[in-house]
Amino acid sequence: MPAHQLTAPKTLFFLCDVQTRFRNAIYGFDEVTATANKMMRIASILGCEVVATTQNAKALGPIVPDIDLVSIGPLLIGNFDKTLFSMVTPDVKALLDTRPGVDSVVLFGIESHVCVLQTALDLLALNYTVYIVADGVSSCNRTEVPIALDRLRQSGAIVSTSESIAFQLIGDSAKPEFKAFSAFIKESKDSTKKAGEVLLSHL
């Protein structure tokens, strides 16, 4: 079976439940947030559309303001509150149905063993190729994360890093957006390193 080719026009980004009430509960929350914000910048540069969710926002608060959703403008095609743990709610499924050319989803957020896992399993069941951003997911208990990622791999998801996924999406340094892309990768190198040290060292 040939390796899957990740391309920006056929890819959606899913931002899962990075909310204010989780700030003091999630291991490496600041690094998860930094990676999520990095993915928003990548989405903006490459033109990838974004779907965001909150889990019971009335109780758990909005998406943290550190994540700059405003900057991506119309690329944010959905921002839904939910009670299901999976992001694949009826509203999100209806939105996916309007994007028949999409074959891949890049998924990041919290918690790795609950909402991220269930979202990925639902997307895989719908025949999407699912990429998990390993330096962009976490849980309250860090010991849950490697087990969740192992299960995701076994289920058919591709576990990678924010930088690897970003470079796969752009694919070619001859593209006109590469100058802005390269500048941003350099600009974010310190936060990328920190996120890797905190979120990947125990995997």
**Would you please indicate which residues are annotated as catalytic (active-site) residues?**
17, 82, 115
Smallest Cα–Cα separation from 92: which of 74, 61, 119?
A: 119
Number of H helices, E strands in the chain: 8, 6
DSSP state of 15: E
Alpha helices (runs of H) in the chain, residue ranges in sequence order: 29-46, 57-60, 90-97, 117-125, 144-155, 162-170, 178-187, 189-199
The two tokens of residue 164 are 């690897």
Smallest Cα–Cα separation from 123: which of 82, 85, 93?
A: 93
| Owner of token pair 């891949």 | 104
